[in-house]
């Protein structure tokens, strides 16, 4: 067990599945108190129960990250339950093209899909950071991890609003880092390439010839949350198998 994370309280959005869930499970193994936030409240509750049954400490809260009132209520509940908010991992997100099953030209994409993409992928992270930053500043300790995407660096023809939102996470991270630095509150951005959270990801090419295992992404996130990374803030960390280098014809 990494003693640096024992009794730290971590809020993880998108905590009921994928990288968010794995991050919750690994944080709990390291002794952290975990707050699973997810739009699917039932799934989040089931996963929190599993963590508790394994000896961890977790609660689940249903939230739509597009709703700042719900987000603030979740932050307040986490603080009341555990007494601190030490880590925020903004994992919630998704490609609106897939969510809305729209694969046509972007200029014909329904406006409601574009709204959804920007609101979930960028505004949700902004709302969540807004809800916890004051507490972290008062504590003079905290880490915010924003999960970006390789598409935010390279661009993409499918999901232009997705690329824009994920690119925005990089500048957002820098601004948070500047705001938090006088109070030892750090902010970092993790930018994965293809990750095997969905079978289709295996088809995305990388110079290393494979997609990442989810645990590889989570291991980087946990390192950045730990005191070993105490001098790291405002930076963007690619874990993409070299995909951002180009040459992926």
- What mean pLDDT comes out for the span 6-12? 97
Give me the CATH number covering residue 113: 3.40.50.720
Report whether 51 contacts 28 (CB < 8 A).
Answer: yes
The yes-or-no verdict on residue 201 having pLDDT over 90 is no
Number of folded domains in the chain? 1
For residue 193, the enclosing domain spans: 3-245
The yes-or-no verdict on residue 248 having pLDDT over 70 is no
- What mean pLDDT comes out for the span 66-92? 98
The yes-or-no verdict on residue 15 having pLDDT over 80 is yes
Binned at pLDDT 50, 70 and 90, residue 145 comes out as: very high
Binned at pLDDT 50, 70 and 90, residue 164 comes out as: very high
Binned at pLDDT 50, 70 and 90, residue 224 comes out as: very high
The yes-or-no verdict on residue 204 having pLDDT over 90 is no
Binned at pLDDT 50, 70 and 90, residue 1 comes out as: low
Task: Clarify whether 162 is annotated catalytic.
Answer: yes
CA–CA gap between residue 186 and residue 41 (Å, rounded): 29
Only one residue has tokens 């989810």, namely 214
What SS3 string covers the chain? CCHHHCCCEEEEECCCCHHHHHHHHHHHHCCCEEEEEECCHHHHHHHHHHHHHCCCEEEEEECCCCCHHHHHHHHHHHHHHHCCCCEEEECCCCCHHHHCCCCCCHHHCCHHHHHHHHHHHHHHHHHHHHHHHHHHHHHCCEEEEEECCCHHHHCCCCCHHHHHHHHHHHHHHHHHHHHHHHHCEEEEEEEECCECCCHHHHHCCCCCCCCECHHHHHHHHHHHHCHHHCCCCCCEEEECCCHHHCCCC
Which of the residues 102, 162, 183, 223 is marked catalytic?
Answer: 162
């Amino acid at each position: 067990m990494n003693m640096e994370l024992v009794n730290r309280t971590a809020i993880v959005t998108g905590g009921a599945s994928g990288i968010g869930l794995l991050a919750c499970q690994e944080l709990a193994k390291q002794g952290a108190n975990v707050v699973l936030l997810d739009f699917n409240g039932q799934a989040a509750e089931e996963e929190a129960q599993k963590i508790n049954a394994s000896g961890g400490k977790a609660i689940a809260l249903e939230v739509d990250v597009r709703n700042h009132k719900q987000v603030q209520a979740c932050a307040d509940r986490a603080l009341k339950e555990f007494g601190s908010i030490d880590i925020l991992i903004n994992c919630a997100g998704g490609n609106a093209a897939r969510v809305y099953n729209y694969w046509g030209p972007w200029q014909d994409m329904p406006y409601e899909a574009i709204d959804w993409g920007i609101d979930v992928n960028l505004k949700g992270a902004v709302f969540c950071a807004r809800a916890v930053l004051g507490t972290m500043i008062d504590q003079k300790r905290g880490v915010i991890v924003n999960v970006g995407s390789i598409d935010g660096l390279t661009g993409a023809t499918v999901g232009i609003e997705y690329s824009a939102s994920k690119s925005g996470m990089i500048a957002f991270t820098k601004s948070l880092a500047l705001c938090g630095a006088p109070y030892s509150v750090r902010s970092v951005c993790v930018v994965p390439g293809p990750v095997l959270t969905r079978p289709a990801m295996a088809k995305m090419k990388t110079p290393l010839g494979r997609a990442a295992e989810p645990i590889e992404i989570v291991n980087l996130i946990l390192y950045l949350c730990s005191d070993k990374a105490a001098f790291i803030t405002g930076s963007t960390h690619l874990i993409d198998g070299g995909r951002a280098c180009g040459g992926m014809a």
